[in-house]
Structure 1
Amino acid sequence: MGLFLLWLIFGIGVSIQAVYLLIIFGRTAWGNFTSSSKNSGNEEGVTVLIAAHNEYKNLKNLIPKLFEQDYPKFDVMIINDRSTDRTKRLLEEMMAIYPKLRSVTVKYTPNHVTSKKFALTLGIKVAKNDVILLTDADCIPNSDQWIRKMTAPVREEGKTFAIGFSGYQKESGMLNRWIQFETILTALFYFSFGLWKAPFMGIGRNLSYRKSFFMDVKAFKGIWHLEGGDDDLFVNQYATGSNTAMVIDPSAMTLSIPKSNWSDYLIQKKRHLHAGKFYRGEDKRKIGIFSLSHALFWLGGFGLLVYFGIIQSWEQFSVVFGIILLRSLLMWRVFASASKKIQGSSNQLNTWINDLIYLGYFWILGTVSYQAKDIKWK
C-alpha cells in the first residue's frame, strides 16, 4: 500500500508538471513574439511615473537615463513620497535641466490608505498624459525603445494593460542566482497565463495603462488598506484575456538593483507573496496547482528512490531517477529558452539546486507571508 501511494504521488506530480512545463510555460519558452515597429503611427503622449521614498541615489542615476528614450512625446513624473534625504533638492536641480521632468510631493499619508497607493494615485491624477508607464526608482530601461514598446499595446491596440518584464542585475553569489531563477519563474507564470488569455498579475516595475481607466474604476478601490498590490492586485481585479497584452521583448524590459542580503530580500518577498492572499480563487489555483505538483513530484520521487535503494531494486531505482532527470532537463530547457526570449540571455540559473530551494521558499515563506500582518512598503 505504501509503495502504491508513493507511485501515485509521484505520478500525479510528474503529470501536472509536464502540463505546466510543456504546454503552459512552453507558450512563453517557445513562442514567436513580434514587437511594434520603431516608427509607429500613433505617438500619443506618455507619462512615466515613479513613486520614490528616499531614493536620491537611484533617481540621480535614473532620471538622465529616462531622457535618453527615443520617443517624441513623453514626460516624467516623480512622486516624492515623504522623503527625508536629498530627493527634493535633486528634483529641483534636475527639473532645471530637463523641462519635461515634473514632481509632486507627498507630505503625509491618510490613515485609511497605504503610502505607495496614495502616492501613485496623487501622481496619476496630475499626470499630463492619458497613457501611464510605471516603473521604480531603482530600475533602468534596457534600451531607448522602452517607452515606445511598452506602451504600444495601450496606444495602438486599445489594450487596458501592457505587462512587461523587469529583471535584476547579475551579480555573484547564491542569493543573486536564486533571485535570477525566481524572477524568471514568476515571469513564466504571468506571461504564460497571459498568453493563454488568462492574465492574473503584473509588476509595477514595468506596467502601462491609461489614466482614464484608472480614474473610471476609482483607483485602488477595495485594496486601499492592503500594503502592496498596487500592481499585481490592481491587474488581478481588472485584467482579462481581451484587454491585456504581454510585452515580451528584451528592449522593452527594465533592469533593477537586486537585494544584496537575504534579510532584505526576504522582507521584500514577504510583501510580494502576501499580496497573493488576495488574488481571485482561480488565480491562486494557477500557482497552487504548480507548487503542489512540484512538492508531490519531489516527495514521491525521493521516497521511491529511498525505498528502491533500501531493497536494492536498481532497475526500478533507475526508472525513477531517469524520470527525475528527464523532468529536470526539461525544466532547464524551458527556463533557458524563456530567459532568452524575455531578457535576451539565458543566464546560468542553477535550475537543479534552485528547483529544490523552491520547495522551502513556497511552502515556508509563502505560509509565513500569507499569515503576516506586519507588511509595509517603506
Structure 2
Amino acid sequence: MIISVLFYSFVVFAAIQIMYYLSFSSFLFTDKKQVKNFKEIPISVIICAKNEAKNLQKFLPSILEQNYSDYEVVLINDASSDDTADVMEAFKEKHANIRIISVQNTEAFWGNKKYALTLGIKAAKNEHLLFTDADCNPVSKEWISEMAQNFNTEKTIVLGYGKYRQAKGFVNLLVRFETLLTAIQYFNYTKLGSPYMGVGRNLAYTKTTFFSVNGFIKHIRIKSGDDDLFIQDAASKTNTQICISENSFTESEAPISLNDWFQQKRRHISTANYYKVQHKFFLGLFFVSKILLLISTIVLFFVYPWEFILPIILSYYVVKYLVVGFSAKKLKEPQITYFLPFLEIGLLIFQFSIFITNLISKPNHWK
C-alpha cells in the first residue's frame, strides 16, 4: 500500500515537472521583432554604484560607446568610501552626457540602495529609463537600441537578460545555470501574462510607471528587491515586454567562490517572501516537486519494478533537455546543456542550503 502511494506520488511529481517545462517553452517561440523605421527615444541609463571605482573604470566605457544618439548616463554615487566619486568626475570631464548624483547616508535610509535609486530616477531628464550595474557591460554597442525598441504606448516595462561571463570551474557553471533557469522562468511567466521579476543588471521602465506605484515605497525598508519587488508592484500582462535578442544582453563577472555566491543568493532569495501569493505558490511548487521527484525516484528504484519507473523518468528528462537545451542555445549558453544532470542536483542542494540558512538567520544586504 505504502509503495503504491509512493509510486503514484512519483507519477504526480513527474507530471508536474513535465508540465512546468512544457510551459517554459513558450518564450522559445518569441522572435525578435524588427521595428521598422525605429525613431530613437531619449533614454536615461541609470547606474547605482557603491565603492565601485575599479568596476566603473573597467565597464563604463562600454556604456559610453553605445550606437545611440540620444541618451544620458546617470551615475549615482551611493555614499562610497573609495575613489568612486573621482572616477565619475573624470569620466564626466570627457563626456557631456554624464550626470552625477551624490547620495549621502541618512539616518532614515542608511545604506538603502532604493533610496539612492529613487534620487537618481528623479534626477533623470528622460521618461524612459534603462538600468544596469556598475560591474556589468553590454555585450554589444546596440544594447540601448535593442532595449529601447521594445517600448511603445502599451509596453512600459522591458525585461532583459543579464548573463554571467564564462570562466573555468564548476562554480561558474552552476552560477550560469541558475541564472539561465531563473531567466527561463521569468521570461516565460511574462509571456504567459504573469510577470513576477526582472534583474537590475538589465531592466527598463518609464518614470510614469515608477511613480504610478509610488516607486519603492511599499518595500523601502526591505533593502533588497529594487528589481523583483518593483516588478511585483508595477508589472502586468499588458505593460511588460521581454527582450532576448543577443545584442540586448549584459554580462557580469560571476562570483568566484561558492561562499560569495551563497551570500549573494541569500539576499536575493529572501525577497521571495514578499512575492504575490500566486507567484510564491507556483515557484514553490516547482522547487518542491523537483526535490520530491528526485527522492521518490531514488527510493522506488530499490523497491519497485524499474520498467514502470524508467519510461516516466526518461520522459521527464527528454522534455527537460529539449526545453533547457533550446533555451540555453537561444540565450547563448550551450555549454550548460552538457552538464545538466550534475548542475540540477548541485543547484537543488545549494538552494535547499540557502533555504535552511535563511530560516536560521537574516542575510546582509546592499554593501
Q: Does 1:272 align with 2:268?
A: yes
Question: Any idea what SS the aligned residue of 1:40 has?
Answer: coil
What number of residue pairs does the alignment pair up?
366
Partner of 2:33: 35
CA distance in 1, matches of 2:255, 2:356: 22
* Structure 1 residue 157, shift from structure 2 partner: 4.3
* Structure 1 residue 114, shift from structure 2 partner: 5.3
Contact 1:113/1:225, CA 8 A, preserved across alignment: no
Percent identity over paired residues: 32
Query: Aligned match of 1:347 in 335, 344, 361?
Result: 335
Query: Aligned match of 1:78 in 75, 78, 84?
Result: 75
Give the aligned CA root-mean-square deviation in angstroms: 1.7
Partner of 2:299: 303
Structure 1 regions of 5+ residues with no counterpart? 309-315
Contact 2:60/2:137, CA 8 A, preserved across alignment: no
Moved over 6 A (4+): none
Letter in 1 for 2:348: L
Partner of 1:311: none
Q: Note the alpha carbon deviations across 1:175-209, whole angstroms, 9 max, x for none.
A: 01101111111011100110011111111111101
Partner of 1:361: 350
CA distance in 1, matches of 2:146, 2:153: 12
Question: Any idea what SS the aligned residue of 1:25 has?
Answer: helix
User: CA 1:376–1:125 in structure 2 vs 1: closer, same or farther (change >3 Å)?
Assistant: same
Q: Does 1:285 align with 2:285?
A: no
Partner of 1:91: 88
Query: Aligned match of 1:236 in 216, 232, 237?
Result: 232
CA distance in 1, matches of 2:58, 2:357: 35
Contact 1:291/1:362, CA 8 A, preserved across alignment: no
Q: Which moved more, 1:70-79 or 1:332-341?
A: 332-341
Question: Any idea what SS the aligned residue of 1:51 has?
Answer: strand
* Structure 1 residue 65, shift from structure 2 partner: 0.8
Letter in 2 for 1:244: T
Letter in 2 for 1:16: I
CA distance in 1, matches of 2:12, 2:78: 49
Partner of 1:182: 178
Question: Any idea what SS the aligned residue of 1:205 has?
Answer: coil
Contact 1:75/1:101, CA 8 A, preserved across alignment: yes
CA distance in 2, matches of 1:252, 1:149: 5
Query: Aligned match of 1:215 in 203, 211, 216?
Result: 211
Contact 2:232/2:275, CA 8 A, preserved across alignment: yes
Contact 1:167/1:180, CA 8 A, preserved across alignment: yes
CA distance in 2, matches of 1:103, 1:126: 9
CA distance in 2, matches of 1:263, 1:359: 16
Letter in 2 for 1:108: N
Question: Any idea what SS the aligned residue of 1:364 has?
Answer: helix
Letter in 2 for 1:162: V
Contact 1:233/1:279, CA 8 A, preserved across alignment: yes
The TM-score normalised by the length of structure 1 is 0.92
Q: Which moved more, 1:115-124 or 1:83-92?
A: 83-92
Contact 1:114/1:224, CA 8 A, preserved across alignment: no
Question: Any idea what SS the aligned residue of 2:101 has?
Answer: strand
